[in-house]
Chains A and B, each alone.
Chain A
Amino acid sequence: MTAALALGDDALVLSHRLGEWAGHAPVLEEEVALANIALDLLGQARVLLSLVGDEDELAYLRDERAFRNLQLVEQENGDFAHTIARQLFFSTYQHLLYERLAGGDGPLAPLAAKAVKEIAYHRDHAEQWTLRLGDGTAESHERMQRGLDTLWRFTGEMFQPVEGVDAEDVDWAGLEDSWSRSVTGLLSRATLSVPTGPQTGAWSAGAGRQGLHTEPFGRMLAEMQHLHRSHPGATW
């Protein structure tokens, strides 16, 4: 089931990146919030990967070329604005996608129905911070804009159809349209500009879903998998 693997990898990898914030967040409330989102995503990843096989084997014993996550979610945290830009792009996408999956009758519908409640909260968190940072101070505005601009090139990949998702459940062009309207509307309220760079740069479109990743991802996996791989066959 390729769709469960792709969506499970998205959740797993983004959860890992958010876990890197622990102990580094700008306020205590964000320590709690970011860890909370990371935990929700990890929970989703575990359910999705378990539909495919053994969750730990899949997480810890696959190499970078076998991961099917979007390149967006593997991007390094950067500053808080960069992390929020990544959260905004992804959680809006994930929310719209899971709403559709939940409403369909595919095998992922029950999981999506449960996850969509969590994701609505993630999306709200990202939107609120986008407003605060965009319409906060000159510095936060500038940082938020930079985060959006830097990550924009990774957003096109989100609208490539995921293998195994029924076209009757998800109309990908419609999903892209809803996503664009939502993000554009929010950025305008946040006094931010919609990035103008390449969104669906043809050379990279669908790359993560095909196991073609960006350079930081290999290092992320090296750290994540090191201990597990050092003790083959051990239970934890």
Chain B
Amino acid sequence: MATVAYGTDGASQPPAASDPSGMSSAGSEQTNQAAFDAAVAADERIEPRDWMPDEYRASLVRQMAQHAHSEIIGMQPEANWITRAPSLRRKAILMAKVQDEAGHGLYLYSAAETLGTGREELLDKLHSGRQKYSSIFNYPTLTWADVGAVGWLVDGAAITNQVPLCRCSYGPYARAMVRVCKEESFHQRQGFELLLTLSRGTPEQHAMAQDAVDRWWWPSLMMFGPPDDQSAHSAQSMAWKIKRHSNDELRQRFVDICVPQAKTLGLTLPDPDLRWNEERGQHDFGSIDWTEFKEILKGNGPCNEQRITQRRRAHEEGAWVREAATAYAAKTAAGAAKSATAAEQGKARA
């Protein structure tokens, strides 16, 4: 429920000029800001009709859109294996997972829409490269084991990032994350179980699993974003309680979670510098290739071109379908209005 509200109904019409306090509009702006700050400080949720600073709104739109886009683009590397899944059980699991991702995209676009933007507009920004999606989906899925590595590592990193977002200051985003995280945890366990089966399978299957983990480990660590001292939006996002932990904190947490899991899997992580640090009570790990990360963000990763082209093509080739649906809806609405009028007239005559 909204708390940065002026009325009991949760609506946040700023005090008008006739406000009994006689405050000027600059004064009401200050009151709004103070109320917003107090709500954030008190860990209360900001709701769509509440006043919020323009930068807060813009920052959320950027983050939620990027998150939604990642779900949609993220369907591609996994859908790549639907038609080749090696058992019917695995095929069903993978189809369900890709379907969930489309659903997550839908929740997130809806949540972003509460901030006064539209899905069409956001998709347009994705297609034209003005908004980004997660760097991780620019890597190719080359073997079946990649489906497991994506589930275990990529979904694992996503959950580590997203669980704190369940307490994000913006209500609709936080609530979307609660739903998303439940399903993501399930996918992550399935990915782990897929890798475990391969690891314990034939020597070829084991090698396939190890190769996939070798290729996905570092890109997964990059999912947490640049190091804290180079992260443009971090400080402000944390002050607004959109983010709760720094990139490096979350990355460390993820490494500490993965190391014992890799042991259970019987697989190694491709980092010679990875070791337990008794003093810190955490793992030390090697340095990330930030040049690779920057290249991918610039659009020069292995699959950037392919991913965006497929997304654009699906959208463009689907244009006539969407137009048909709109035209049909308009016709049926017109038909309904006409028959309602006819019924009215019939009644009047009778």
Contacts and interface: CB of A to CB of B under 8 A. Distances in A.
Interface residues of B, number: 49
Interface residues of A, number: 49
Interface stretch (B26-34, B59-67, B100-108): B100-108
A46 B144 CA distance: 21
Given A32-B102, A46-B92, A56-B88, A133 B321 contact: yes
A26 B204 contact: no
Nearest to B72: A28
B98 A35 contact: yes
A223 B84 CA distance: 6
Q: Is the interface of B mostly helix, strand, loop or mixed?
A: helix
Q: Is the interface of A mostly helix, strand, loop or mixed?
A: helix
Given A32-B103, A227-B144, A236-B87, A22 B323 contact: no
Interface string B87-99: 1111110011011
Interface centre among A28, A228, A233 (most CB of B within 10 A): A28
Interface in B319-334: 319-329, 331
Interface in A104-140: 131-133, 135-137, 139-140
Given A29-B106, A236-B197, A19 B320 contact: no
A19 B85 CA distance: 11
Contacts of A46: 88-89, 92
Interface stretch (A36-44, A94-102, A179-187): A36-44
B328 A27 contact: no
Nearest to B92: A42
B2 interface: no
Given A39-B92, A224-B83, A235-B201, A24 B328 contact: no
A132 B328 contact: yes
Interface centre among B89, B310, B317, B324 (most CB of A within 10 A): B324
Given A19-B82, A231-B86, A31 B102 contact: yes
Nearest to A232: B202
A146 interface: no
A27 B106 CA distance: 10
B252 interface: no
A22 B324 contact: no
Contacts of A79: 317
B324 A132 contact: yes
A43 B96 CA distance: 11
